[in-house]
Structure formats: C-alpha cells, structure tokens
C-alpha cells in the first residue's frame, strides 16, 4: 500500500474519513432550532426544511413553532409533516442506510424532512403584542420549537379572568389560559365523538367560570354528570360542581329518589304542572315525539276551549268527549286523537302533575339572583329524550323572558342588569336542528349573542346537526376528536386557516386532547386538557369531600332582582 496523503486521516475507519458532525452548538427538537423557511405563502402557509440533526419522529401536527424573522416573531402551528428528496430516483432505488457512509451522504442532503406550518399570530420584537398575521418571514429564517415564554406571550398568564385549561402539546411546563370574560360573551360549543371526555371537559370550563364569578350557570344535567359526583371511564368517582363550590352551586332534581340513592345533597325538587305547559312548549318535541303541524294546531285550539287544563282534559278524555269536540274546534278528530296518544306518554314522568307543587322557575331565578349556579339533575328521566327537551325548553323560555324584561327595565344601567347567565344543554342538535332552530328559544338565544345577558354552552357529538346560522354564532369551539367529515367541516366553518386545522383535528388523541378555537383564545390551540383529579380540586381551593351542604349562602354580590 502506498504512502497516505497527509491531507486525509491515517485510518481505515469510515468514522474518521466522515466524522459525525458536532451538534453541541445546534439546537434540535429537544431544544429550539428545527430548520429554516424555504417557501410558502400567506394563504397556504410556510414550508420548512428540517436540519439534518432534527429527529422528524419527535414532531407532531398541532405543535407550535416560532419563526424568528428580522423584525417579528411568527407564532405558527405544524399542520403537516412530509419526507422529501432532491433526486426522484431515490424513491425507486433507495440507498442501503445500514452502510454508515451512505447514511452520512444522504441524510439531510439528498433526503430530508419538511414541515408545513401555518402562521397564526405575529409579535413585533419591540411592541410585544400579538397581532393577526398580515405578512410572512423571509427565506431561510430559523424555525424553532415554541418555548414557555413564547406561549405565555400569546396566551397570557392565569389571573382573575384567565383560566388554565391545559398545556400545549409537548410543553407541559406551561399552560393555555382561556379569557373567561370573552368565553361567556358569546355562546360556547364543546364537541367530540362519544367517549372523548366531553362531560369532563365541560366540567373543567364550568369550574373556571364559577370560580372566577364571570357568569351564573343553569345546567341541564342529562346524565347526572355535573351536580354532585360522576364516574370517569375507569369507574372512579369524581367530584361534581356542588362538592367543589358548595356555596356557589345549587342542585335541583326531577327525580328525588335517584338523587337520594346517590347520597347527593339537593336544594329543590322540580315539579311542572300540566296547567303551565303551553302549545309553544311542545314545538321543540315535533321531531322527538313525531308531532305533525296539524297536531300542534289542534293543541292551540284545545287550549282555547279548555284553557290552562287542556292537557289534563285531553289525557283523560274519553271517545265520547272527543266526539263532542267536533263541533267546538276546527282540528280534525284524527289529529286530536293522535295528539292524545302522544301526550299520554307524559304519564310516565312523575315530575309532571296536574298542578305544580311550587313555582320552580321562580325558585331558579332566586338562586340566579344570588349568583348561585343551578344544576338540574334528571335522574332516571335523563334517558327519555322527550323529558329532557320538554323541561329544558319549558324552563328556558320562561327564564329568558324574565331576563329580557329585567334588561329592558335596566335601560343600559349595568348596575341594574341581571348577572350574565350561561345555559348548558347536552344533545344540542336536538334543540338546534335546522328545521326548528329559528323558531325555538335556544336558536333565539344563540342569534342574540349577549343582547339580554344570556348565552349557551352546547355539548354535542354531532355538530353537523346544528343549524349553520346558529353554528356561526358559537364564539368559542372546544373540540375533541371527531372522525366524521361533516362534523369536522361544521366545527371548522368560518375559522381562518381551516384547511390546515382539519388534519390536526382528525389526529387528536381519543381522550384528554382538544383544539380550542374562537373568541376566548387569540389563535387556535391544541391542548392536553387538565386532569380532573385531586390536584385540580386543590387548585380551585375546593373544600374536603363531603362538605357540600344544601344550606343557602349569602350572595357574594348584591342580589339583582329579575322580576
């Protein structure tokens, strides 16, 4: 063998000929730097070529990155990850990367990884305030993983009006804080397929609202998930809102026996009189109870004849009684008989009586005036959809009417206005179906925004079943995993950059992950939601378990009468 050239290593080891690059001064995914901007546009997002040291497997859609421009920081979300090459022939004849020499030649040069990132906000290096994106960074600007300080600059820090709901992906040492005042200013939606933890996510939001006293809540608790206690997917019992905030929450129940069996402490038993139910209260049940327009028309005519007791008379009416009606009303006998058969289903519900034992609407208003949130538990009636819809519609129509009167009497004097009220309903598409949303009280509330200090918190696994106009008025959308294309399209309707977010939404974990978009956050954000456990209770200053008596507490603020 001839003499070696002094310019080359005196070794037969390939590691000496092609030494590993010293990366001690290069920040990778576990630090900061990922790569550089190589292309893109404002409308379609930016393309980022990854540095050869960046491990592509450590990246995921939904994570946040920051592009360090000359004068701005661009806060961006990863929306896609791809593998690319400079030579298409590599795809058909890939190299043998077990050969370390070839690995050094190809990796990061001929074959490399790229990210597609969507700019969400910009922060001027001098001003420091997050602003909407109106430009893009130059070529070859460095791209880094967002740090805790970057996240805090965008989402602020927890205070009296900002509430921690979780942490961004891969940044568990920081937190995402919702602006609670902006959250309740417009209606809120919590969406996700069955089993993704919508109820626990909703309970976290409600806990923040109650703790910070930004709104009073009326919660129609279909499956007894919010009041006293609930069980998670593992069968463990979790505290309800009454145990967390004994002096700020009251439990009303339709099923006193079921509430007692669960050892839940309640404040009031709700009864509704047949003589208080109006034909308008049945309009929401057209689909659920298969009520036709002629049947609804017959209800109005029967009310004129039999006055307030029209339902009791109709349920008890014999065939002879119905025959006598032929001369008194214009409705066809067939429609009257069909309506009778359907209303007789109400006899299964013990909370419905000929005359109510007391005025439950007035009772709820009294607690709201004291700034106490009310959880209405349905007990065994939660599985009867017609009972849930009837009660929610009946109470909401009357409470909303009182709120309208109170706000109009205040004539713009904020000190006289009733407190902000947030009404929570489950199976929201049953109340906000396109066929009925424009005629129902819930559709009215959603379209009014905050005009009369009443907004909605809708919980649903089928957002595509909600009327488009109502959906457009949902200010903040908190969405867990959805796998139906129509549901994903409904949630993303009207959201800037929805094309990139679609991929992020479809790839959320099945539990404890959600994407938050809209009014309460400065930009869409994917969070690992807080765990609803002892640590969470402690952060709220919760009393020990069992301390949730039903005695009334004095209101924190001066009561405002809603009369």
Note the pLDDT tens digit of each residue in 96-124: 767 776 667 677 678 889 999 999 999 98
- pLDDT above 80 (res 339): yes
- Do 224 and 92 lie in a common domain? no
Residue 392: CA count within 13 A, CB half-sphere: 32
Is residue 11 within 8 Å of 124, Cβ to Cβ?
Answer: no
* Within-domain flag for 286: yes
pLDDT digits (tens, 9 = 90+) for 205-234: 999 999 999 999 999 999 999 999 887 666
**Beta bridge pairs of residue 122:** 74, 131
- Do 112 and 96 lie in a common domain? yes
- pLDDT above 80 (res 544): no
pLDDT digits (tens, 9 = 90+) for 87-98: 887 777 787 767
- Do 491 and 444 lie in a common domain? yes
* Within-domain flag for 139: yes
Is residue 112 within 8 Å of 53, Cβ to Cβ?
Answer: no
- pLDDT above 50 (res 543): no
Is residue 67 within 8 Å of 126, Cβ to Cβ?
Answer: no
Predicted pLDDT of residue 248: 95
* Rg (alpha carbons) of the chain, rounded to whole number: 30
Predicted pLDDT of residue 21: 42
* Within-domain flag for 81: yes
Give the span between the Cα atoms of 202 and 227, in whole angstroms: 12
- Residue 164 makes CB contacts below 8 A (sequence gap 6+) with 158, 175, 176, 177, 208, 530, 539
- Do 308 and 253 lie in a common domain? no
* Within-domain flag for 338: yes
Backbone angles phi, psi at 485, to 5 degrees: -60, -40
* Within-domain flag for 9: no
- Do 204 and 141 lie in a common domain? no
pLDDT digits (tens, 9 = 90+) for 314-330: 999 998 888 888 888 88
- Do 185 and 149 lie in a common domain? no
Give the span between the Cα atoms of 124 and 108, in whole angstroms: 32
- Do 207 and 263 lie in a common domain? yes
- pLDDT above 50 (res 266): yes
Query: In 393-551, where do the E strands start and end?
Result: 421-426, 454-460, 474-479, 513-518, 525-529
Give the span between the Cα atoms of 225 and 254, in whole angstroms: 15
- pLDDT above 50 (res 24): no
Q: What CATH number is associated with residue 531?
A: 3.40.50.300
Predicted pLDDT of residue 371: 94
* Within-domain flag for 544: no
- Do 377 and 324 lie in a common domain? no
Predicted pLDDT of residue 437: 81
- Do 182 and 53 lie in a common domain? no
* Within-domain flag for 8: no
- pLDDT above 80 (res 501): yes
CA-to-CA separations, 349 to 129, 279, 356, 372, in angstroms, rounded = 56, 18, 13, 27
pLDDT digits (tens, 9 = 90+) for 169-208: 878 788 999 999 999 999 999 999 988 889 999 999 999 9
Q: Token pair of 145, please? A: 């993983």
- pLDDT above 70 (res 268): yes
Give the span between the Cα atoms of 404 and 451, in whole angstroms: 9
Task: Please give the residue range of the domain that contains residue 48.
Answer: 14-154
Mean pLDDT, rounded, for 266-287: 92
- Do 141 and 212 lie in a common domain? no
pLDDT > 70 fraction of the chain, expressed in percent and rounded? 88
Predicted pLDDT of residue 148: 85
Q: Compare 5 and 405 and report the one with higher pLDDT.
A: 405
Domain final residue, candidates 348, 375, 408:
348
- Do 134 and 28 lie in a common domain? yes
Predicted pLDDT of residue 158: 80
* Within-domain flag for 165: no
Whether pTM > 0.95 for this model: the answer is no
Number of domains, the chain: 3
Please give the mean pLDDT across all residues of the chain: 86
pLDDT band at 558 (very low <50, low <70, confident <90, very high): very low
- Do 432 and 503 lie in a common domain? yes
Backbone angles phi, psi at 187, to 5 degrees: -65, 155
pLDDT band at 401 (very low <50, low <70, confident <90, very high): very high
DSSP H or E run through 503? helix 498-506
């Amino acid at each position: 063998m001839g003499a070696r050239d002094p310019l080359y290593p005196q070794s037969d080891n390939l590691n000496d000929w092609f030494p590993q690059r010293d990366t001690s001064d290069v920040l990778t995914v576990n630090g900061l730097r990922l790569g550089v901007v190589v292309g893109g546009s404002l409308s379609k997002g930016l393309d980022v070529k990854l540095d050869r040291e960046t491990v592509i497997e450590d990246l995921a859609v939904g994570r946040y990155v920051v592009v360090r421009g000359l004068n701005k920081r661009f806060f961006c979300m990863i929306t896609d990850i791809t593998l690319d090459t400079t030579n298409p022939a590599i795809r058909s004849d890939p190299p043998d990367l077990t050969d370390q020499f070839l690995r050094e030649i190809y990796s990061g040069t001929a074959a490399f990884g790229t990210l597609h990132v969507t700019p969400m906000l910009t922060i001027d290096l001098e001003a420091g305030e997050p602003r909407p994106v109106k430009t893009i960074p130059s070529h070859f600007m460095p791209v880094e993983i967002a740090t805790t300080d970057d996240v805090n600059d965008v989402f602020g820090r927890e205070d009296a009006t900002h509430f921690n709901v979780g942490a961004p992906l891969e940044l568990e040492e920081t937190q995402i804080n919702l602006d609670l005042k902006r959250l309740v200013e417009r209606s809120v939606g919590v969406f996700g397929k069955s089993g993704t933890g919508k109820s626990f996510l909703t309970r976290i939001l409600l806990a923040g609202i109650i703790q910070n006293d930004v709104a009073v809540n009326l919660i129609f608790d279909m499956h007894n998930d919010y009041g006293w206690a609930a069980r998670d997917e593992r069968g463990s019992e979790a505290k309800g809102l009454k145990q967390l905030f004994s002096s700020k929450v009251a439990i009303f129940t339709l099923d006193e026996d079921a509430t007692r069996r669960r050892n839940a402490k309640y404040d009031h038993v709700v009864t509704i009189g047949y003589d208080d139910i109006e034909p308008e209260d049945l309009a929401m049940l057209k689909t659920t109870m298969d009520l036709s327009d002629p049947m609804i028309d017959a209800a109005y005519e029967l009310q004129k004849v039999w006055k307030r007791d029209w339902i009791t008379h109709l349920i008890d009416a014999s065939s002879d009684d119905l025959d006598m009606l032929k001369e008194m009303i214009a409705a066809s006998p067939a429609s009257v008989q069909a309506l009778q058969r359907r209303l007789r289903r109400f006899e299964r519900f013990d909370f419905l009586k000929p005359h109510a034992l007391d005025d439950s609407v007035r009772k709820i208003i009294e607690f709201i005036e004291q700034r106490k949130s009310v959880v209405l538990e349905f007990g065994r009636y939660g599985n009867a959809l017609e009972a849930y819809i009837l009660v929610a519609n009946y109470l909401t129509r009357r409470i909303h009417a009182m709120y309208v009167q109170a706000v109009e009497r205040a004539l713009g004097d904020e000190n006289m206005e009733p407190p902000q009220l947030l009404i929570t309903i489950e199976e929201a598409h049953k109340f906000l179906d396109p066929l009925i949303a424009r005629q129902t009280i819930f559709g009215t509330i959603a379209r009014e925004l905050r005009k009369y200090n009443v907004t909605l918190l809708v919980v649903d696994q089928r957002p595509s079943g909600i009327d488009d106009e109502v959906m457009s008025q949902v200010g903040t959308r908190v969405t867990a995993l959805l796998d139906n294309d129509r549901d994903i399209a409904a949630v993303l309707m009207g959201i800037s950059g929805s094309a990139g977010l679609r991929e992020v939404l479809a790839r959320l974990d099945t539990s404890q992950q959600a994407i938050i978009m809209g009014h309460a956050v400065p930009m869409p954000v994917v969070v690992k939601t807080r765990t609803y456990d002892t640590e969470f209770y402690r952060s709220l200053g919760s009393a020990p378990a069992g301390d949730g008596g039903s005695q009334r507490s004095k209101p924190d603020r001066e009561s405002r009468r809603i009369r």
